[in-house]
Amino acid sequence: MGMTVSEKILAAHAGLDCVEPGELISARLDLVLANDITGPVSIREMRQYGFQEVFDPERIALIQDHFAPPKDIPSAALYTAMRDFAREKGIVHYYEAGQCGIEHCFLPESGLVSPGDLIIGGDSHTCTYGALGAFAAGVGNKDLTVGMATGEAWFRIPETMLFLLTGKPGNPWVSGKDYILAVIGRIGVDGAQYKAMEFAGEAVADLSMDGRMTMCNMAIEAGAKTGLIAPDDKTLSYIRDRAKRPWKAYYSDPDAHYERVVEMNVEDMRPLVAFPHLPSNIRDVGEARHISVDQVVIGSCTNGRIEDLRTAAGILKGRRVHPYVRAVVLPGSQPIYIQAVREGLVEIFAEAGCAVSTPTCGPCLGGYMGILDKGERCVSTTNRNFIGRMGHPESEVYLSNPAVAAASAVAGHIADPDEVVG
């Protein structure tokens, strides 16, 4: 029996020739990631349980992004804990705000993620790295602590679901965000519970690396352990000048077993909006146009990459944000921010009336930089629209792609980009 990409990566890292879904393994990790919410907890646990050293100071990334730069005194204490630990243990990939950005934007572009890697991160959107052909999964603090100390983690080999996205979209505004919202809408928020989601097909191959990262990023929103895309020429050219370590690409065997194959044709797809309070609650943007908005957020580990900013700027150029809308733009990382400055995108956003911020997760998780009051509605390019996710429990978040978000900022209600640009 052949194996899927996921099974091959997990087997290789456990020193096994083959594995089957359901088996439990202990596997060697290529990278362990922690952020400002999860890192300080695991740092405390390492000290508490007497783990003296990290397994490899070059294979741990400590990123400040959720509340960075520190929004208040308790957050500042999280950062001093990270800085002290990084100094003490010689952590190579420790980054202050201004030198990194949102972890899942920054690590791939920095060459810290490569095809075939096995990665755990103290953040659920660690699955983003599947876009590079890595097996990457979010974990809680105990896994993170043990991973940082030993370089190993336990895994249950997941069943793999294959999503074949065929065709080319007729609508120019349809993006990777719409593909993944459509997938989640089809299978539900627990449709891939404990599973690996493998994305393939012409529509996926046609996506840029940015678009692929958007898709894999939201695999967790279907309950998946990871989402991944086998490497192709685009992947290899993306990592060629970036990769910091030797790497190996894995591909699913022709006779690999998939628990389920879901085919979707994207030709007639239109931009989608996920209504409160689940990412699976999708509707065509045309069915959402009656909904007025108070805030728009463009950014996050889902849609804060340069392609996303270019799309949004293309719509906002020469236009004004609606007088009763607060529009917040958050480039995903410092390199993306610099690129956006060089391309004149930041000027376009600023002139349109957007609040442009240094990279941070901020509003996505209700941290800061755009928190919603009771009754406020937000169109956001982020990944979750749960109750209270962005602020008051009686506020509402509508998830969309960057084009719909930018058009909505101008219109003051959820808008089809064609309505604003046309």
Residue 395 touching other proteins (CB under 8 A): no
Distance CA 104, CA 395 (A): 27
| Two tokens, residue 68 | 């960075």
Report the DSSP beta bridge partners of residue 356. 329
Q: How far is the CB of 390 from other proteins (least distance, A)?
A: 9
Helix (H) or strand (E) holding 76: helix 73-89
Question: Would you count residue 28 as binding other proteins (CB under 8 A)?
Answer: yes
Site string for other proteins, 34-53 (x = CB under 8 A): ---xx-xx--xx---x----
Distance of CA 175 to the CA centre of its chain: 15
Q: Strand 272-274 to strand 152-156: parallel, antiparallel, or no bridges (unpaired)?
A: unpaired
Q: Which residues pair with 378 in a beta bridge?
A: 295, 397
Angle (CA) 30-34-36 rounded to 5° is: 165
Q: Using the structure block, give the residue that is written with the tokens 């790295």.
A: 129
CB-wise, 136 or 404, nearer to other proteins?
Answer: 136
161-190 residues in contact with other proteins (CB under 8 A) are 189-190
Binding to other proteins (CB under 8 A) within 268-287 occurs at: 278
Query: Contact between 152 and other proteins (CB under 8 A)?
Result: yes
Interacting residues with other proteins between 110 and 149 (CB under 8 A): 121-124, 126, 138-143, 145-146, 149
Give the pairing of strands 160-166 and 272-274: unpaired
Q: How many residues sit close enough to other proteins to count as binding (CB under 8 A)?
A: 61
State yes or no: residue 307 binds other proteins (CB under 8 A): no
Exposed, middle or buried: residue 264 (CB in 10 Å: 0-12, 13-18, 19+)?
middle
Task: State which residue, 146 or 183, has the beta carbon closest to other proteins.
Answer: 146
Under the binding rule (CB under 8 A), the answer on residue 150 touching other proteins is: yes
74 binds other proteins (CB under 8 A): yes
Beta carbons of 295 and 322 less than 8 angstroms apart: no
Dihedral sign for Cα atoms in the order 146, 224, 378, 395: negative
Q: Which of 212, 225, 319, 413 binds other proteins (CB under 8 A)?
A: 225
Binding positions for other proteins, rule: CB under 8 A: 13-16, 23-28, 37-38, 40-41, 44-45, 49, 66-67, 71-72, 74-75, 78, 121-124, 126, 138-143, 145-146, 149-150, 152, 154, 189-190, 193-194, 220, 223-225, 278, 365-367, 371, 384, 386-389, 391, 393
